[in-house]
Each structure stands twice: as C-alpha cells, then as structure tokens.
Amino acid sequence: EEVMEETIAFKMDPKSDSNVAGEVEFTEKDGNVVMTASFSGLTPGKHAIHIHEKADCSAADGTSTGGHWNPTSEPHGKWGASEGYHRGDIGNFTADAEGNAVVEFTTDLWCLSCEDETKNITGKAVIVHQGVDDFVSQPSGAAGARISCTGIIK
C-alpha cells in the first residue's frame, strides 16, 4: 500500500507592529500531521501559538483570522485536557535570549484537505501571540496581541 506523504510550508507575516517572522511547515503521513515552525524576532520567554478559524491575515492586528479553530465546540484549554480543548489549542513555546524559537507538534486530530471538517486545517491560520496562554481564560487563554500570522492555503 502506498503511503501518502504531503508537505506544505508557509512564511509567517509580522503583525501588530512586531518583527516576528518565521516559517511553518505541515507534513501529513501515516494519519498524523507534524507541524514544524521556526520563528525570529520574538521577545525572550514564553508565547502562545494557535490555529485560528480563517486563513485571512489581512488585518494589521491579525484579528481577521477569527477566533481559535474549534470545530468540536469545546471550551478552550490545554491540549489533551479532559475538560476539553480547541483543536487549535497548540499551547505555549519558549523563545531563547535572541528571540528565536522552534516548535514541533504532532497530532492525529489534524489532516490536510481531508473530508473531515473536525480535522481539516486547510483554510485555517497559524497565529503566534505576544503573551502566554493561561489555558483557563475563555475563549482565548488571554494570550494577548497576535504578533505573527500565516494562512494554511493550498
């Protein structure tokens, strides 16, 4: 049986007067999607990263992407939490003293252009936030300004 593997990659655009640039890549293989992202221009420390509803980075503050992608209508939370979480709730990552970071994330709850709308991340957006996701505040985790954006478009 042939194993289908597909990779799509995007450049991140700075938002909200930040200088946060980077690239994000998604690879689908064997029923999993692997996200690999690298960023520069961040303030050192922790930042939130989420998948948002719409692949529209036109707004200067990134709000054109809508809210967190939440196709299963759950409360916001930490990925895997029994109380529930959004399919877009990737969580937090840490930037080093130079403002660089690499994020790797793998899940079988995403797909690229499959028929299952609760899993398909195509047409959504990746957003990096200035602040930290507290995993409690609804519906967004109070993660602050949207400082980098890309659409997941084929």
What does the pLDDT read at residue 129? Answer: 97
Mean pLDDT of 100-116: 96
pLDDT digits (tens, 9 = 90+) for 65-76: 999 999 999 999
What are the chain's domains? Answer: 5-151 (2.60.40.200)
What does the pLDDT read at residue 5? Answer: 87
* Cα–Cα dist 116/153, whole Å: 17
Residue type, 66: G
Mean pLDDT of 13-33: 96
Q: pTM for this structure?
A: 0.94
Is the pLDDT reported for residue 116 higher than 90? yes
Residue type, 112: L
Tokens of 95: 């930037």
**Are the C-beta atoms of 53 and 66 separated by less than 8 Å?**
yes
What does the pLDDT read at residue 41? Answer: 97
Q: What is the DSSP-derived secondary structure letter of residue 61?
A: T
Distance between start and end Cα atoms, the chain:
25
pLDDT band at residue 1 using 50, 70 and 90 as cut-offs? low
Kindly give, in sequence order, each residue whose CB lies less than 8 Å from that of residue 82, ignoring residues fewer than 6 positions away: none
Burial 123-140 (b: 16+ CB within 10 A, else e): bbbbbbbbbbbebeeeeb
What does the pLDDT read at residue 33? Answer: 97
Residue type, 35: M
Is the pLDDT reported for residue 135 higher than 70? yes
What does the pLDDT read at residue 3? Answer: 63
**Are the C-beta atoms of 67 and 53 separated by less than 8 Å?**
yes
Is the pLDDT reported for residue 154 higher than 90? no
Is the pLDDT reported for residue 2 higher than 70? no
Q: Where do we find the tokens 């938002």? A: 15
Q: What is the DSSP-derived secondary structure letter of residue 87?
A: T
Mean pLDDT of 70-91: 95
